[in-house]
Structures are given as C-alpha cells and as structure tokens.
Chain A
Amino acid sequence: MPDTPCAIQLDRISRRYAMGSTMVNAVDEVSLSIPTGEFLALLGSSGSGKSTLLNLIAGLDRPSSGTILAEGKNLAALSSPELARYRRNTIGMIFQSFNLLPRMTLEENIELPLRLAEVDHAERGGRVREALERVGLTHRSGHRPSELSGGEQQRTAIARALVNRPRILLADEPTGNLDSNTGEAILSLLHDLQSQLGMTIVMVTHERPLAERFADRLATMGDGRLLGVSPSGKAVAQ
C-alpha cells in the first residue's frame, strides 16, 4: 500500500530499562510504518518486546530514543496531558484480561471514556447504544462484567474502545483468555471494524494462525528487535 498515508510511523524506536546495574533493551531500534486502515499483527515469543512496543504506540510509555508519529503527532514531544488527550481521542485499547471495571454495568463501563472526554450527558446514551450495537451486546447492557462470558467481556471492551470513535485500535493479546472459537469471533469482529470503519488496527498476539487469517501484515519481533515484516496469508491470497 505505497500510496496510503501512514497512521503510525516508528523511526528507530528504543526502550531501555534499568534492571539492577544492567540496562535491558526491551525495544531496540525498531522502525516500522503502519498505513492508515491496515490490520497489523505483532508476533513474537514472550519477552520479545511486542507489548512494550504497543504501549509506546499507545502513549502509555515514552521511548528512550527514536520518534513515534501517530496520526501526524510526534508522541515523544507531547506533554503528559497531551498524551492523555491522544489516548482519549485518537486510540482505543483492548487487553487480554479485558480490564472492565467490575462494579459497573456494561453500559457504565462503555460510558467511562465519554466521561473522561467530557462528552455531554445528552449525547452519551446514543454513543453507548451505537457501540453496543456494533458488538452485538445491546441486550446485555445492564449486566455487570462478572455476569458475562469471556467473549462478551472482550466485546464489551471493544465497545468501550470504540465509543470515542478513535482512528487507531490497539489490541494486546485480545484472544489470550478466550477459547479458539470465541477468539476467532473476536478477530472477525476486529476485521469487520477495520473494513467498515477504516480503522488502523495493531494487534499483539501469540496466535500466528489467527493472525494469518485476519491481519494484513505480520511483524515478528525477537529480543526487542523487529525481525521482519511479511504479508499475511490473507493478503497473499488476495
């Protein structure tokens, strides 16, 4: 996709941690361009640096060196409140363990980003319903997370990530806690969002077969380095 504008551009990104007296390169000189509307899967074994890289793209962490351009913004140059605004408005995040707040209903969990974005009360109901419809959970809106299956919880998390209408969706092992059928359904939902809304999706996963089926490209990491980027099976088939 050479003519498509870049949603995310990583230029020689490094993230180093001090572990006692030694420095650990969790991410080491990674450069990568992710075009708008692409579904990219980040693969790699545990400790390869893929989740750290995702956190850097999410603005939850700052790189030790290099630059990250997301939707034209240099994340390294943003202040803490600006980074919070970026997380609120530009990206949506889903996690392996869903991270729903247990004392809130589905509806209230999904409303949370709208509260943070100070969206008017009058507008909130419609936005929450729209997100719930998109993930097919309208009938469960009054339930608490503990009353839902893993798949339903992850779909709720997706609805929460979508409610502020972000342009980028970041998923950290979204199928890690789900059985294979449910995992497949979740990836199918992500794929639909990509095609219907034109969202850019970056997904960290261990599951290469699923990634081959639903992602456009696969980026493989090892020891903090980007080992290679290849088109997925789906892309090759197309």
Chain B
Amino acid sequence: MKASDLTDLAIRNLREAVLRNALTTLGVAVGVASLVAMLSLGVGLQQLASKRLSQSGLFDTIFVTPKNNFRGMGRPQPRAAESNTPPRPLDEDARKQLEKLPNVIEVYPQIRFFTEVRFNNKPFATVVGGMPDSSRNSGAFDGMQGNFFSSPSANEAILQIEFARDLSEKPASLIGQELTLRYAERQPIPSASASPAESGGGFSVVPKELKLKIIGIVETEPAAGYGGYGNARLLIPLSTASTLRAAQVNDLRDIVRGETADKITYPSLSVRAKSPSLVAALEASIKSMGFNAFSLLDASKSLRTFFSVFDLLLGIFGSLALAVATLGIVNTLVMAILERRREIGVLKALGAADSDVQQLFFVEAGVMGFLGGTLGVTLGWLLGRAITFGTNVYLQRQNLNPIELSAVPWWLVILALLFALLVSLGAGLYPASRAAKLNPVDALRYE
C-alpha cells in the first residue's frame, strides 16, 4: 500500500476508538514531557554553569607567569635541569612576542593591588583590578547596573556588588558618586652607583590619590580569584591601572633579585585565544617559550563530563514514564486487533498482504507516537517554563537575580520526537506482527 493510503487508513482507525487512542497518546505525551522537562533542566543548568564560566572570560584565556615566580607551599621544586635554564622575565619584549603568536587576540597584564578606598570619609580596604577594554564584549558585564567604562583610560570605577553593599545599603544609589582611591606609586630611585648591587636598583613608594567616578555595579568579578590575587572588588580600566604604577606583589621580589626597578616586568600576563579550542595548542607554544602557562580548559572538560552523566541520569528517569506509556500502546493495539479481527480478514480477502496489515498497525503506533511526542515536547517545554518561573519567584523573594533554569534546544525537540516515534514503533512491533499473522479464514469467521 502507498504511504499516503497507509497513513489515511491508520488515522481513520485511530479516530474510530478516539477516546482510547487519545488516552494512549496522552500517556506517550506525559512520558515525553517528563523526559523533555528533565533534560531541559539538565541542559538549562549546564548552559547556566557554562555561561557563568564563560562570562568569567577564562576559557579562552591562558594565564602566563615567569618560571622564576614564587612557588606556592607544597608545590614541587624545579628539577635540577630545569633550574639550570635561566628564567625568562615577563617583560614588554615577552609581551610583544606573545602577541605575535598565531590565534592570539590580545595580551594584557594582570594588574591587581591591595589598596584603600575612601568613601564618605570612611576607609575601605580592597583589591583593585584592571580590566582590559575587550572585556566589554565578553558578556561578563551583561546585566550589570550602570555602564561599562566610557573610555579605556577613564577615571571611572565599576564596583563588585558585595563591595558596593559595604559602601552603601543601597548599592544602586552609588552610581554617579565619587570615591577616592589611595595607592602606593612606585617611583624608581636614580642609581648613584654603577653597580646595581650597591644601589639595589630600588624604588621609593609614594602615597597617591585618584578620584574615580562610580559608573556601574557588577554581580561577579570576571576572572574572580584567577591567578591567586584574590577577588578584585573595584574594577578600573586597565590603561588607567597601568599608568598608576601602583606597587605590586612582584616588586619586592624583583628588588631582592636585583632586577632594575625602571624596567617593567609583569607578575603575569593574560593571553586571549581566538577560541577555547585553540587554547591547548597555544598553551603548549607558550610553555615552549620558557614561561609557565595555565588555562582552565581541563576544568571545562570535567564540567562537560559531569553534565553528560547528569543528563544521562535525568534522561533515564525521564524515560521511565515513556516506558510505561509504551505498554499503553501495546495494550491499545492488541485490543484493536481483537476488535478489528474481522476487518483484518476482509482486508486480506481483498488482497492485503501480511506486510500491508503489519505496516498499517505500525503506522497507527507511529502516528500515536508522533502526536504524543509533539504534545509531550510542548508540555515538557511548558513544564520547564513553569519550573523556571517558580524558581525565579522564589529567587526574587530572596533578592537574587532571576536565572534561566530550563532550556529546550532544537536538538532536544528533534531527539524527543525521534525517541517517541522509535519507542512507539517498538511498542507496535508485537501487535503488528500478531495482526499480520492472523489467519484470514479464522478472522472472517470471527463475530
């Protein structure tokens, strides 16, 4: 039989016992809805976590430090061969060299320093972080209150929300106000002797102040804590931060090592790759240049593995309802065979082959699966929206920002429909084969 005729006859047959078939289809729909709702929560949570992490700008960034950097407690000491190699300083030359590497978008120094901020004549200790202008488009500042820096060298500040709460009970009211940044400027001491060992190549520290206009408040600091300097809670443009020449952690180390104070070295540089997939290769090239390099790519892989397992478990639990629904399909079709026994006999007497009868029941199962799948995807999506809505109502009551808890991507829609169709066809296997095997003489005799 032609496919159009099979479908037409199948739909006619389904309409014949409309209540029973509608209930069976609803069973499939509930099964698919539970599957879609579960997976949409899994996908939503994964997207939420990935978004938060990607907003931090870490997955396309490699953190570069010189090999002579301080090693943390408990870290292994360099091997003898390694320690014989003279360490390369992370200076301007190194920065330019890193910039020339393929697939590098930008290289910028990590400028963070402890300092004091005065606001309403009260002192607040905090960490200041310099933000490159490129972070404007990284998504990290999406949803912030106020605006991003008006120019790359503006005397403006963006506050991290917790710090803003320290300054005022109404953080939003801070926007437009001024605060004073007090910091220690590093000024090189002119060398009186030819030997740096004698002069020490040192520098003096001069207290300075800078007035900054508060222009925005951001929920989390991008690259929070990355690099071991702690969270920066006051963000200023990177260019502004570098012109301050504020004393940093590595300054003391450089003096001890006899490195000249007028030659700028960076404690660390951030190298941004064109895409996260290029990070691994870039990291290897940087290491071969004689620097330490570290990226969070491994952390992202672990996250993906975790969510794959999480989605699998959600999918298994979601499929249980669908498994029950398949029993409903089997039951409905077996009942249909009993009721339509004589009709099957007539079809065979008129020339229907066993395969025609089998296909007819298959299509009936498939139509129930497709309709149930379509309805189920819609119900699952609605369920996900309802859960998101309920969660956001709760979050808003807790004064927290709303989140997108569930997500139904296209692949999930197609996968759910295909799964519903396949499961229904599977459920139709036994009834279809039983119908096809009916003896036409017995079937025609059936009253």
Contacts and interface: CB of A to CB of B under 8 A. Distances in A.
A60 B346 CA distance: 11
B71 interface: no
Nearest to B356: A116
Contacts of A160: 350
Interface residues of B, number: 23
A71 B355 CA distance: 25
A99 B340 CA distance: 12
Most buried by A among B16, B345, B352: B352
Given A89-B351, A115-B1, A99 B346 contact: yes
Nearest to A112: B350
Contacts of A85: 351, 353
Nearest to A166: B351
A116 B441 contact: no
How large, as a class, is the contact surface on chain A?
20 to 34
Contact of A99 (B1, B12, B353, B444): B444
Q: Is the interface of B mostly helix, strand, loop or mixed?
A: helix
A205 B440 CA distance: 21
Contacts of A55: 441
B5 A115 contact: yes
A113 B350 contact: yes
A117 interface: yes
B1 A118 contact: yes
A139 interface: no
A164 B349 contact: no
Nearest to B340: A101
B185 to A, nearest CB: 89
A2 interface: no
**Chain A interface, DSSP helix/strand/loop, else mixed:** helix
A88 B348 CA distance: 9
Given A103-B12, A116-B356, A118-B1, A93 B441 contact: no
Nearest to A94: B349
A84 B348 contact: yes
A103 B351 contact: no
A53 to B, nearest CB: 12
B105 interface: no
Interface of A: 55, 58, 60-61, 80-81, 84-85, 87-89, 93, 95, 99, 101, 103-104, 112-113, 115-118, 160, 164
Given A81-B355, A85-B351, A164-B351, 5 more contacts: A60-B349, A60-B441, A80-B353, A85-B353, A160-B350
23 contacts: A60-B348, A60-B440, A60-B441, A61-B440, A80-B353, A84-B348, A84-B353, A85-B351, A85-B353, A88-B351, A88-B352, A93-B350, A99-B342, A99-B345, A101-B346, A104-B12, A113-B350, A113-B351, A115-B1, A115-B2, A116-B1, A116-B347, A116-B351
